[in-house]
Chain A
Amino acid sequence: MDGKITKVSIIVSKGSLEGIYPALIMANGARAEGMDANLFFTFFGLDAVNKKRIEHIKVATVGNPAMHIPTLIGGLPGMSGLATHMMSKTMDKLDIPPIPEFIEMIGDTGCGMYACKASVDMFNLTKDDFVEQVQDIITVGDFYDMAAGGQIIFT
């Protein structure tokens, strides 16, 4: 190792907005630096590439102390939608793309995208449920083979 990272494999296990964006930014940034990058979507992280869910990713307003609003208020109907709307506006100003557009862009950078077989089976999904950028549904063993020789990041 000469101290440079040349490859990253990033696991996305959460389906909230704040759970998905960091992984996408890191994958996109890795490609921009000329590294190889793979995204592996598992459990609720699959929402980030699920055609039916990708447009409806929300910020968690409950169970998220960093929101600094009382849990009961955060639990009111529409709160998560409101927080998501506000955050999306700020991100738009900073030219951070919405998740569907970001996934498309990351696909265009040549980053690999894969869905976790165990989770896909558990949620009763098939490859047709995912956006076209998802290349394959793979097992954990396949993932480790793919990640060999690089860094693994779990988010």
Chain B
Amino acid sequence: MSTATYAGVSVELNDEGFFVDPNQWTKDIAVELAKADGIEELTSQHWTVLEFMRKEYFEKGTGPTVRVLGKTSGVSVKDLYLLFPKGPAKMAARIAGIPKPKGCI
């Protein structure tokens, strides 16, 4: 566990860099997190995925896997990997301020 400051807010992160409390997240924080992960600008497609991830997390208690994202977020698997090259579900979860999604597929 560690603390980091993004967009002027001090947030708690776990060892892998995921948010401990998703309620600490803001859109400004997402922009900074994305930059730190190599995404210069968050496009509307990025936001579609990030918002979908948060919605799923708050509804189901865990973020969606790539498979679920590809089927239900409206963004194809191919595009997901273009948007989030370091692994869509994992990278998007980190930027969306939710824990790492559980699931093998």
Binding site for B on A (CB under 8 A): 25, 28-29, 31-35, 94-97, 105, 108-110
Shortest CB distance B101–A (Å): 9
Chain B interface bracket (under 10, 10 to 19, 20 to 34, 35 or more): 10 to 19
Sampled A-B contacts (26; CB under 8 Å): A25-B104, A28-B66, A28-B105, A29-B104, A29-B105, A31-B81, A31-B87, A32-B65, A32-B66, A32-B90, A33-B87, A33-B90, A34-B85, A34-B87, A34-B90, A34-B91, A94-B105, A95-B67, A95-B68, A95-B105, A97-B67, A105-B77, A108-B70, A108-B76, A109-B77, A110-B81
Give the residues from 55 to 104 in chain B that come closer than 8 angstroms, CB to CB, to chain A: 65-68, 70, 76-78, 81, 85-91, 104
Chain B residue with minimal CB distance to A28? B105
Count, A-B residue pairs, CB within 8 A: 42
- The interface centre, meaning the residue of B66, B85, B91 with most chain A CB atoms within 10 A of its CB, is B66
Contacts A32-B87, A34-B86, A109-B77 supplied; 11 other A-B pairs, CB < 8 Å: A29-B105, A31-B87, A32-B88, A32-B89, A32-B90, A33-B90, A34-B87, A105-B77, A108-B76, A108-B78, A108-B81
Give the residues in chain B near A28, CB-CB below 8 Å.
66, 105
A14 to B100 CA separation, bound complex (whole angstroms): 32
A33 to B65 CA separation, bound complex (whole angstroms): 11
Give the residues in chain B near A31, CB-CB below 8 Å.
66, 81, 87
Binding site for A on B (CB under 8 A): 65-68, 70, 76-78, 81, 85-91, 104-105
Give the residues in chain B near A105, CB-CB below 8 Å.
67, 70, 77
B77 contacts A96, CB within 8 Å? no
A29 to B88 CA separation, bound complex (whole angstroms): 11
Nearest 6 interchain pairs by C-beta: A34-B87, A34-B86, A108-B77, A108-B78, A32-B66, A32-B87
A108 to B91 CA separation, bound complex (whole angstroms): 17
Give the residues in chain B near A32, CB-CB below 8 Å.
65-66, 87-90
